[in-house]
Amino acid sequence: MRHMKSEAKSVLEREIGEQPDAIARTVESCAREIDLLARDVRARDITGVMIAARGSSDNAGVYAKYLLQAFNGLPVMMATPSLYTFYHKPPRLRNIMVLGISQSGQSEDIVEVMADARRQGALTAVVTADGASPMAGQADHALLLKTGPEKAVAATKTFTASLAVLAALSAALEKDAARMSGVKELPERAARTIALSGPAAAARAERYRYMQRCVVISRGFCHGISMEIALKLKELTYVTAEPYSSADFLHGPMAMLEPGFPVILIATSGVLLSHMTEFAGTLQERQSEVIAISDSKDILEKGITRLPIAEGAPDWLSPVLAVIPGQLLGLHLAIAKGYDPDSPRGLRKVTVTR
């Protein structure tokens, strides 16, 4: 076990702080290629999307699934890479766009999904930080993340930059200038969220030093964020953190709740807020230890620990902000537990699967 001195900034903490600038650079740099991809989607009468990704990028894909279905009317499926690499039985891809998401663009199974899409003549696009990667080489359109090098093992700025690109693509597909303006406001709101949640996460992390298990719950556009925050806690703190939709949690897992059981609740303003407020009340009745991530005062007041995000973002953009308090909690909890957040045990920066 390597102890990180709390007064020394880790690489991970610096990269969390770089997210506002990384988002701004990426959205500006990708604007032209996003427009070209949107035109191609319309010209080729694309009727569905298949997303190929792993790890944090897969969680970004869940966000894209909600976006592209809700705003663009495109049915979205998640790729099953083993059908390509082991079973050799890929699905037919007529009128389908295949979208690969990978920070490194190196994973063999995702590259094979993209390569097969090219062989079938499907429209291919990738979101990646490496334009020279094998995955980018299989793309008709490469949306490149301008995050600068990400050295910490746990992905942060590449994740939020990916979400911002996906949000911009959804807006561009509908030529919706108002939604695109919202995307461009994300950097300032991300900076405010870091300022709001950073001190709170640092101050409260010690309370959870001996936490061994928890659940992370959200619903709707933030569902992929519950998955990402759970992943960050597993990577950085080795806590058994399980993500759930609030609806799924009511169908059985609710039985886990007992006084003091930690529940990280992500609930942002929008159509689901009243449902999530009611759900938070149920957690209080069960005497759960609620860690609230929200822009809503009502939700935050139901939390024993309160991690606020900047107000004003529409619910479809709130995931870009809501993940940040989870990143900060993972960082500071790792330090509280005496772990090095830059070097999680048994992990390396690029994971290659087949």
Q: Is 349 a catalytic residue?
A: yes
Q: Measured between alpha carbons, how far is residue 134 from residues 103, 154, 187, 314 in Å?
A: 12, 22, 30, 36
pLDDT digits (tens, 9 = 90+) for 155-200: 999 999 999 999 999 999 999 999 999 999 999 999 999 999 999 9
The β-bridge partners of 208 are none
3-state class percentages of the chain: helix first, strand second, coil last, to nearest 5: 50, 15, 35
Grade residue 348 by pLDDT with cuts at 50, 70 and 90: low
Which single residue is written with the structure tokens 């957040």? 341
Query: Tens digit of pLDDT for each residue in 204-262?
Result: 999 999 999 999 999 999 999 999 999 999 999 999 999 999 999 989 899 999 999 99
| The two three-digit tokens of residue 162, written as one number | 């990916």
Give residue 64's pLDDT.
98
pLDDT at 351: 55
Other C-beta atoms lying within 10 Å of the C-beta of residue 143: 25
Q: pLDDT > 90: what percent of the chain? A: 92
Residue 275 pLDDT > 50 = yes
Average pLDDT along the chain: 95
Domains delineated in the chain: 11-186 (3.40.50.10490), 191-336 (3.40.50.10490)
pLDDT tens-place string over residues 23-67: 999 999 999 999 999 999 999 999 999 999 999 999 999 999 999
Six-digit token pair at 249? Answer: 């949690």
Q: In this predicted model, what pLDDT tens digit does every residue of 80-106 receive, in sequence order?
A: 999 999 999 999 999 999 999 999 988
The DSSP string of 292-347 is EEES-HHHHHT-SEEEE--S---TTTHHHHHHHHHHHHHHHHHHHTT--TTS-TT-
d(CA 354, CA 352): 7
The arithmetic mean of pLDDT across residues 101-115, rounded, is: 94
pLDDT recorded at residue 3 = 44
Residue 5 pLDDT: 43
Question: pLDDT at residue 346 above 80?
Answer: no
Asked whether the whole model's pTM tops 0.75, one would answer yes
Contacts of residue 246, defined as CB under 8 A and 6 or more positions apart, other chains included, come to: 217, 218, 219, 275, 276, 279
User: Positive or negative CA dihedral for 109, 114, 115, 120?
Assistant: positive
Q: List beta partners, residue 245.
A: 218
Contacts of 81 by beta carbon, 8 Å cutoff, 6+ apart:
52, 54, 109, 110, 112, 113, 353
Active-site option among 9, 151, 175, 349: 349
Query: What is the model's pLDDT at position 350?
Result: 55
Amino acid at 89: K
